[in-house]
Amino acid sequence: MADSTTEAPPATSNRSTTPASDTFKHYISDGWAEQAPARVSPRQQAAYAATRRASLSAQFPGKTLIIPAGAAKQRSNDTDYAYRAHSAFSHLTGWASDTVPGAVLVLQPTANGHEATLYFRESAGRDSDEFYANSDIGEFWTGPRPSLAHVATELGLATTNLADFTAVLEHLDAHTLVIREADTAITEHIDGRRLLAADPSDISSPETDGDDELARATSELRLVKDDYEIAQMRDAVAATQLGFDDVLADLPQIIAHPRGERLVEGTFNRRARAEGNTVGYDTIAASGPHACILHWTRNDGPVVHGDLVLLDAGIELDSLYTADITRTFPVNGTFSEVQRKVYEAVREAADAALAIVRPGIRFRDIHAEAMKVIAAKTAEWGLLPVSAEESLEPDHQYHRRYMVHGTSHHLGLDVHDCAQARREMYHDGIVEAGMVFTIEPGLYFQPDDLTVPVEMRGIGVRIEDNILVTETGAENLSAGIPRTADEIEAWLAASAR
């Protein structure tokens, strides 16, 4: 049984009215109907997660591996951000949006690899005062938690109560590694144990190179997606397409509101909550010159006729896999001549990058191919002090003034997935079948940029698609969302009917 607590959490102790009498405790613990055990079966992702754990185990023989889901994170006072498990934990367990906060996966070394155990706070009985008196974890406050047996069946993992994890922490050795960023309290405890075990004459900080290797390995495990992950990516893209359709359908109300960008965000986010867990990242709903701000998430501006809206958004499913798609469209339904010229230049860059994607190329080549088009177009328009060829030289790069970001990043459980992978595996890595990444060139002409003609200033365009590498080439998973200028205009016209 989970530990009980009769005191309200400190953040609410000054206003707590929780009854504490023995009479109340006896009364509230009686009179509950017996709950039938939930019918559970193994989850589809459980077998895939087991394969991933085996791969990780092979890289760290003899070492104890600790992969926390992470604790809830405080937003303000006694309110927390919506909980989300750490991506490495979810990838290795198959537990996703319904993860119990504070859970920990431990891989203990054995003669044949590792034994995996999942520690989490199991359901407390009604004879405990936790369920009504503790607003942080009590089921009266936050809902029921699954039993150990329930989770063991679903995930195919040995499970035990979180309280037993204390024994693991007390018996750490020099061969224990942890995902440092996942749970600060666990990491600090492990570092403290390392200090106690260290040579007193060594005043250096605890050795964390092994932790970095573990983070790298869990990131690199996600570079190539398995069949389950690819299916989730398809579903995330399909859900995101519905969100884009919703935004276009709501354009009249969006235009009418003084903070129309907020309505764009809200409309899309509503679909994210309906179809999945939430958005995969803060929605960028950038109208007019805000589209030139790469990570514009304040979303407090108007959406007015004559401007373009850059919508960069993705839905995260309950599995925690997310899409990441950008479309740029004219508010009044038709691109101006200048807007169309910029838009189609960006599309040409995206198409050129996609055309070279296949197993065997280097990941960095995708960006280079898009940059050839961006350099050629900005040179053609007279924006560069040199030719396109000269600008592409490493010591020049004048065209990057108008697109300072990269063209691609890996995608999956994180919107910028595999972020701790080695450079030689990521930027300089060889593209393989099963990889999923974005292609997202853009052009951004700041409203105060004197190097561009007045009619271009304040125009920002990005087109972003989600790409699956196949055995023979690539598939644009988001190709069903209109991309060309003509398709965008037809899409807007159809949504207005």
Exposure of 174 in the CB half-sphere (CA atoms within 13 A): 5
Mean predicted confidence (pLDDT) in 327-350: 98
286-325 b/e (C-beta count within 10 Å ≥ 16 → b): bbbbbbbebebebbebbbeeebbbbbbbbbbbebbbbbbb
Helix H, strand E, coil C: the string for 262-328 is HHHHHHHHHHHHHHCCEECCCCEEEEHHHHHCCCCCCCCCCCCCCCEEEEEECEECCCCCECCEEEE
* 406-422 pLDDT per residue, tens: 999 999 999 999 999 99
* 126-184 pLDDT per residue, tens: 888 888 888 888 888 888 899 999 999 999 999 999 999 999 999 888 889 999 999 99
Q: Which two tokens stand for residue 107?
A: 């891989």
Q: Which residue in this structure is represented by tokens 């809206």? A: 309
Phi, psi of 362 (to 5 degrees): -90, 145
Higher pLDDT, 122 or 433: 433
Report the distance separating Cα 408 and Cα 472, nearest Å.
20
CA geometry: angle at 182 spanning 295 and 147, to 5°? 120
pLDDT of residue 9: 56
pLDDT over threshold 60, residue 8: no
DSSP structural state of residue 472 = S
DSSP structural state of residue 394 = T
User: Which domains does the chain show, CATH number per domain?
Assistant: 10-220 (3.40.350.10), 227-496 (3.90.230.10)
DSSP structural state of residue 446 = -
Looking at 314-427, which runs of residues are DSSP E strands?
315-316, 325-330
Q: Which residue in this structure is represented by tokens 């129309």? A: 260
CA geometry: angle at 468 spanning 467 and 469, to 5°? 115
Q: Which residue in this structure is represented by tokens 């190329």? A: 361
pTM over 0.85: yes
Percentage of residues of the chain with pLDDT beyond 70: 96
pLDDT of residue 134: 86
Contact in structure between 223 and 429 (CB atoms under 8 Å): yes
Res. 1 pLDDT band, cuts 50 70 90: very low
**What residues contact 31, with CB distance under 8 A and at least 6 apart?**
none
> What residues are paired with 279 via a beta bridge?
315
